[in-house]
């Protein structure tokens, strides 16, 4: 069971960094080539949400992503410590932002094989996983 962890300053520019790392580790873990686009997109969505939450509520805190290779499974966990923005005032773009949040989760749910979203008082944790052929260890 191998784990790669990335923690990055909540900058939009680093969402791409997280996508690239996640895709590379997924490929290495034996996730089918045909699923890698889904991994890229889903991880990007989860990280984008985390970055936006941090930029609003805790810009000094890093966003964390953990990539874990389990037997037959590739797991991605994205955690943020920004309090879930529901109808909080101060959301940058108002209607556009809210729409984006709705889309983001819908996209993740539509792409990942298994998804679990846990929202606590301290932040949000999104767990996504895909089948893998085990890959190298």
Kindly list the residues in this chain that would bind another protein in the complex (CB under 8 A): 11-13, 15-16, 19, 37, 40-41, 44-45, 48, 51-52, 96, 99-100, 103-104, 106-107, 110-111
Q: 65 phi and psi, to 5 degrees? A: -130, 130
Shortest CB 80 distance to another protein, Å: 14
What the block records as the tokens of 87 is 């109808």
For another protein, which is the closer residue by CB, 25 or 112?
112
Shortest CB 71 distance to another protein, Å: 28
CA-to-CA distance for 1 and 29, rounded, in angstroms? Answer: 10
For another protein, which is the closer residue by CB, 19 or 64?
19
Closest to 49 (Cα-Cα) out of 115, 130, 131: 115
What the block records as the tokens of 76 is 């991605």
Shortest CB 28 distance to another protein, Å: 20
For another protein, which is the closer residue by CB, 25 or 63?
63
> Dihedral angle at the C-alpha atoms of 72, 33, 20, 63, nearest 10 degrees?
-40
């Amino acid at each position: 069971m191998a784990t790669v962890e990335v923690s990055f300053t909540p900058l939009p520019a680093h969402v791409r960094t997280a996508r690239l790392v996640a895709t590379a580790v997924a490929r290495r873990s034996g996730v089918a080539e045909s699923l890698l686009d889904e991994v890229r997109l889903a991880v990007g969505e989860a990280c984008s949400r985390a970055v936006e939450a941090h930029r609003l509520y805790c810009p000094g805190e890093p966003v964390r992503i953990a990539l874990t290779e389990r037997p037959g499974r590739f797991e991605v966990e994205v955690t943020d410590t920004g309090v879930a923005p529901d109808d909080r005032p101060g959301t940058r773009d108002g209607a556009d932002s809210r729409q984006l949040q709705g889309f983001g989760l819908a996209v993740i749910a539509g792409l990942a094989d298994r998804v679990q979203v846990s929202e606590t008082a301290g932040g949000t944790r999104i767990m996504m996983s895909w089948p893998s052929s085990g890959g190298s260890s």
